[in-house]
Amino acid sequence: MQPRLPDWIDPAALIRQGRILEGTLPVARFARLADQLHDSDGEIRVELHFGRFDAGVEGIKGRITGELHLTCQRCLGRMDFPVEQEIRLGLVESEAMIERLPEGFEPLLATEDRLALTELIEDELLLAVADFPKHAESECRTQATDQDSAEREIADTEHGDNPFAALTDLKKH
Ligand SMILES: [Zn+2]
Could you give the CA distance from residue 74 to residue 163 in angstroms, rounded to a whole number? 23
Residue 77 CA to ligand 1 centre (angstroms): 6
Looking at residue 54, what is its pLDDT? Answer: 82
The neighbouring-strand residues paired with 9 are 115
CB neighbours (10 Å) of residue 45?
14
Instruction: Compute how many other C-beta atoms are within 10 angstroms of the C-beta atom of residue 42.
Output: 16
On the CB side of 74, CA atoms within 13 Å amount to 13
* Distance (Å) from CA 79 to ligand 1 centroid: 7
Greatest mean pLDDT among 66-70, 90-94, 166-170 lies in: 66-70
| Amino acid at site 128 | A
Q: What letter represents residue 118's amino acid? A: T
Give the bridge partners for 89, in sequence order: 60, 106
Distance (angstroms) between ligand 1 centre and the Cα of 139 equals 7
Question: Ligand 1 centre from 43 Cα, in Å?
Answer: 23
Phi and psi at residue 169, in whole multiples of 5°? Answer: -60, -45
Contact 26, 8 (CB under 8 A): no
The confidence score (pLDDT) of residue 151 equals 56
Cα(141) to ligand 1 centroid in Å equals 5
* pLDDT at residue 87 is higher than 70: yes
CA 161 to ligand 1 centroid distance, Å: 20
- What residues pair up with 58 in beta bridges, in sequence order? 52
What's the CA-to-centroid distance between 133 and ligand 1, angstroms? Answer: 9
CB 61 within 8 A of CB 18: no
In the structure, what pLDDT confidence band is assigned to residue 94 with cuts at 50, 70 and 90?
confident
Ligand 1 centre to CA of 61 (Å) is: 34
- Using the mean position of ligand 1's atoms as its centre, give its distance from the Cα of residue 39 in Å: 15
User: Do 49 and 20 meet the contact criterion of CB atoms below 8 Å apart?
Assistant: yes
Residues 152-162 as b/e (b if ≥16 CB within 10 A, e otherwise) read eeeeeeeeeee
Please tell me the distance between residue 140's alpha carbon and the centre of ligand 1 in angstroms: 4
